[in-house]
Structure 1
Amino acid sequence: MEIDYSMIKVIGFDADDTLWVNETYFRETEEKFAELLDAYETKNKIDQELFKVEIKNLDLYGYGIKGFMLSMIESALDISNNKISQATIGEILNLGKKMISHPVELLEGVKEVLEQLKDKYRLIVLTKGDLLDQERKLERSGLSEYFHHVEVLSDKKEENYLNLLDHLKIDVKEFLMIGNSLKSDVLPITRIGAQAIHIPFHTTWQHEEVPVEEQNNNYLTVNSLKDIASHL
C-alpha cells in the first residue's frame, strides 16, 4: 500500500534509538548489574526481577536513566535480601552516572537527512525520558539547530500526542511521526489519524514490544532514516 505524504507539513522525531543510540547502553548496564549480583541469583532471574521493578516504578519515576538507577538499587536490595554492601550500591550508582555522561552516538545518516528536510518541513523532537538528560543529549548531539520545538513527554499515548499537537496548533493530517518504537512512536499516531514511519532498532526494551495481533498496516517501515527521503 502506497502512503500519501503530500499533506505533511510537520515531522516529529523520536530521539532515543531514532536519532542516537540509547537502548544498547541500558542492555550493557544490565549485564554489569547482573555481574555485581551474581552471588545472589542467576543472570536470568536478576534480569527478570529488575524488569518487574522498572515497570512497577514507571508511574513514580517515569522513563529515563535516573529511574533506572533507582530501580537497580531497589532490585539489588530485594535480590540480596538487604545484604548488598554500600560499596556495591556505590558501584550501581556509578553505572548510572556513566550512562548519563556517555558521549552521544548519532545513528548513520541523521544529520544528512535533517539537512535535507529542514527547509521543507517544520521539524520537532518528541521523546520520553528525563527532561535534563534529554536536553543534555540534544545539546551534545549538535542537532538542536534543526528543530523548531523539543518536547519531553511523560508518556506517548494517544492523549499525549493529541494534547501536544493541539498546543502546537498542528493538524493531525499534516503531521508525520518517525521513530523506532511501534508502541510509543507509531501505533498511537496512526490511531489519532496522523502518519508514522517505523525505523526498527536492533535492540528493543521488552516494555516497548507489541504483539503481532495489536499491530496494523497503517504505517511505513524502512530500514534506516536515510530511506525516508524517497518517500517524502
Structure 2
Amino acid sequence: MEADFKGIKVIGFDADDTLWVNETYFRETEERFAELLESYETKNKIDQELFKMEMKNLELYGYGIKGFVLSMVESALDLSNNKVSQSTIEEILQLGKNMIDHPVEVLDGVEEVLEKLQAKYRLIVMTKGDLLDQERKLERSGLSKYFHHVEVLSDKKETNYKALLEHLEIDTNEFLMVGNSLKSDVLPILGIGAKAVHIPFHTTWAHEEVNENEINVNGHLKLNRITEILKYLN
C-alpha cells in the first residue's frame, strides 16, 4: 500500500500488544492452567476446551482478564467433572490476580513515537477489554499524558468504530488507526473508509486470527515496529 497520510488529524492507538505487552501473559497463564489440570486431561484438550469456554462466555463477560478467569474456573469444573479441588480453584483465582497486578511493560519505541506525534496530531486510545483493568494499565504505563481521549470499547467492529468517531466528531478521512490485530484494528477501520497501520505482535490470540483471504480485501500499511510510522507521519 502506498501510504498517504497527508489529511490525517487524529490517530487512534490500540493498547494491548500495541502500546504494551499483554497476550504473552495470557499464554503463560494458560500454560500454568494446563499444569493444574494435567491429571484430568491432556494439555491440548485443556487448551481447546478453555478456548471454547472463552468463546461461549464472550457475550456475557466481554474481553479481559476477569472474563478469562471465570472461563478458567468453569473449564476446570467441566474438565474434572466437578471434582477439581478448592485449592486448585484458589490457585486459578490467584493466577488472575497475578495477571492484573503484573507490571506494565511498554513496548520498545512507543513513548518515543507518542512524544513526537502529540504535537501534530490528536492522539486517542481505542481499545477493548475490562474498563478498570485498561485504565489501571494506562496509568501504570505512564503514557496517559500523550492522549486526548481514552475509549474502552465492548468490541471493535465497524459499528463500534463508526459510532465512536461520530460521537467524537472525527471525520473518517482524517482518522488513522494503529494496532496489532488485523481483525480488530485494521479490517473494520478500512471498512468504514478510514486508514490503518498494522504492527504485528509475535503472539496472537486465536480469536484475533484472520484468514489470508480476508487480509487481501483491502490494502493497509504493515510495519515491523512502531517507530517506522514516523517516516510516514512526521
Q: Do both proteins adopt the same fold according to a TM-score greater than 0.5, normalized to the shorter chain?
A: yes
Q: Which residue of 2 aligns with 1:136?
A: 136
Question: Bigger shift: 210-219 or 188-197?
Answer: 210-219
Distance (whole Å) between structure 1 residues aligned to residue 150 and residue 114 of structure 2? 15
Is the aligned partner of 1:226 residue 2:227? yes
Q: Report sequence identity in percent.
A: 76
Distance (whole Å) between structure 2 residues aligned to residue 104 and residue 56 of structure 1? 29
Q: CA deviation at 1:150?
A: 0.2
- Residue type of the alignment partner of 2:78: D
Distance (whole Å) between structure 2 residues aligned to residue 231 and residue 8 of structure 1? 11
Q: Which residue of 2 aligns with 1:124?
A: 124
Distance (whole Å) between structure 1 residues aligned to residue 232 and residue 117 of structure 2? 12
Q: Which residue of 2 aligns with 1:153?
A: 153
- Residue type of the alignment partner of 2:106: L
Q: Which residue of 2 aligns with 1:188?
A: 188
Paired residues, number: 232
Q: CA deviation at 1:215?
A: 1.3
Q: CA deviation at 1:219?
A: 0.7
Q: Which residue of 2 aligns with 1:72?
A: 72
Look up the SS of the partner of 1:125 in the other structure: strand
Distance (whole Å) between structure 2 residues aligned to residue 121 and residue 20 of structure 1? 21
Q: CA deviation at 1:151?
A: 0.2
* Structure 1 residue ranges (4+ consecutive) displaced by more than 3 angstroms after TM superposition: none
Distance (whole Å) between structure 2 residues aligned to residue 142 and residue 62 of structure 1? 26
Q: CA deviation at 1:231?
A: 1.3
TM-score of the two chains, using structure 2 as the length reference: 0.98
Look up the SS of the partner of 1:155 in the other structure: coil
TM-score of the two chains, using structure 1 as the length reference: 0.99
Q: CA deviation at 1:4?
A: 0.9
- Residue type of the alignment partner of 2:72: M
Q: Which residue of 2 aligns with 1:166?
A: 166
Question: Bigger shift: 209-218 or 102-111?
Answer: 209-218
Q: Which residue of 2 aligns with 1:27?
A: 27
Distance (whole Å) between structure 2 residues aligned to residue 2 and residue 142 of structure 1? 33
Q: CA deviation at 1:116?
A: 0.6
Q: CA deviation at 1:145?
A: 0.4
Per-residue CA distance 1:121-154 (angstroms, 9 max, x = gap): 0000000000000000000000010000000000
- Residue type of the alignment partner of 1:159: T
Stretches of structure 2 that go unaligned for 5 or more consecutive residues are: none
Q: CA deviation at 1:163?
A: 0.2
CA RMSD of aligned residues (A): 0.5
- Residue type of the alignment partner of 1:203: T
Is the aligned partner of 1:53 residue 2:59? no
Look up the SS of the partner of 1:127 in the other structure: strand
Distance (whole Å) between structure 2 residues aligned to residue 218 and residue 146 of structure 1? 28
Look up the SS of the partner of 1:40 in the other structure: coil
Stretches of structure 1 that go unaligned for 5 or more consecutive residues are: none
Q: CA deviation at 1:218?
A: 1.8
- Residue type of the alignment partner of 1:62: G
Distance (whole Å) between structure 2 residues aligned to residue 227 and residue 215 of structure 1? 21
Distance (whole Å) between structure 1 residues aligned to residue 136 and residue 41 of structure 2? 35
